Amino acid sequence: MNGASVSVSKIEKVFSGAGPQPLKVLRGISFEVQAGESLSVTGPSGSGKSTLLHIIGALDYPTAGSVLIDGRDISALDESSRVEFRNRKAGFIFQSHYLLPQLTVIDNILVPAWNSRRDCEEHIERAYLLLRRVGLSAFAKRLPGQLSGGERQRVAVARALLMRPALVLADEPTGALDRENAAALIELMLEMNCMEKTTLLMVTHSEYCAEKMERRIEILDGMISG
Ligand SMILES: Nc1ncnc2c1ncn2[C@@H]1O[C@H](COP(=O)(O)OP(=O)(O)OP(=O)(O)O)[C@@H](O)[C@H]1O
Ligand SMILES: [Mg+2]
């Protein structure tokens, strides 16, 4: 596998019902990402970055336009195929790690395998391999509350990669980290992107993180600037 190609075409998103007027957040966004590429999405707060990422990850629907992942229009899929897409093809990393506090690190990494019928041993082996790759082998049996913020985000990276996603979607993964930990996490994500042959889309407010990606786009007023 070489990562997924992503083709975003004329995406529009209108939120209605949240206020007196419908809110047009995305106004015709189009861009392409090649398989295996890394791309950053920047833009002011409220410009629609998370909304766009949710649409690409089939967590939300566009009002108009299409998203093709490896040539397949994910907005046209029925709900069970969208769930299948999210479980099989996409790995998510958010600003806050969303680790389950009562589960050990290794069990948290295994959460995406809960719905899978595949051999359990294979998943466990891969969870330990990923834990080693993110440099936390010694912490397998710790609880998230016993880790630093940076370490928790590394666990979130391992968890996102468990099911060998072709596409990794990250929404401000370094948002809660200091500079040093943010830089280390970005290095790790790029290394994993290369090693695991995933396509990486990262929303970030950090100029440093954006510069580290192969390509970048900026969203202003619901459109791509420049
Ligand atoms: N479910 C929703 N219903 C109504 N409005 C929404 C919804 N989700 C987001 N919005 C609005 O859409 C706009 C874009 O939100 P979004 O979260 O995509 O911005 P963002 O670029 O990710 O901002 P930030 O950098 O602060 O995370 C905001 O004005 C927000 O209030
Ligand atoms: Mg956001």
Residues with C-beta less than 6 Å from any ligand 1 atom? 15, 18, 23, 25, 43, 45-51
- What's this model's pTM, rounded to 2 decimal places? 0.93
Supply the pLDDT for residue 172: 94
Task: Supply the CATH number for residue 176's domain.
Answer: 3.40.50.300
Which atom of ligand 1 lies closest to the CA of 48? 18
**118's tokens:** 């595949």
Closest ligand by atom to 219 CA: 1
Distance CA 142, CA 93 (A): 20
Alpha helices in 103-196 (DSSP H): 105-109, 120-133, 149-161, 179-195
Q: How many CB atoms lie within 10 A of CB 146?
A: 12
Q: Does 218 map to a domain?
A: yes
In-domain check, residue 1: no
Look at the chain and report how many structural domains it folds into.
1
Q: What is the mean pLDDT of the chain?
A: 93
Q: What is the pLDDT of residues 105-149, one digit of tens each?
A: 999 999 999 878 777 899 999 999 999 989 999 999 999 999 999
- Testing ligand 1's pocket by substitution, the residue of 12, 13, 25 carrying the most ligand atoms inside 8 A of its CB is 25
Residue 112 sits in which domain range? Answer: 6-224
Residue nearest to atom 31 of ligand 1 (CA): 46
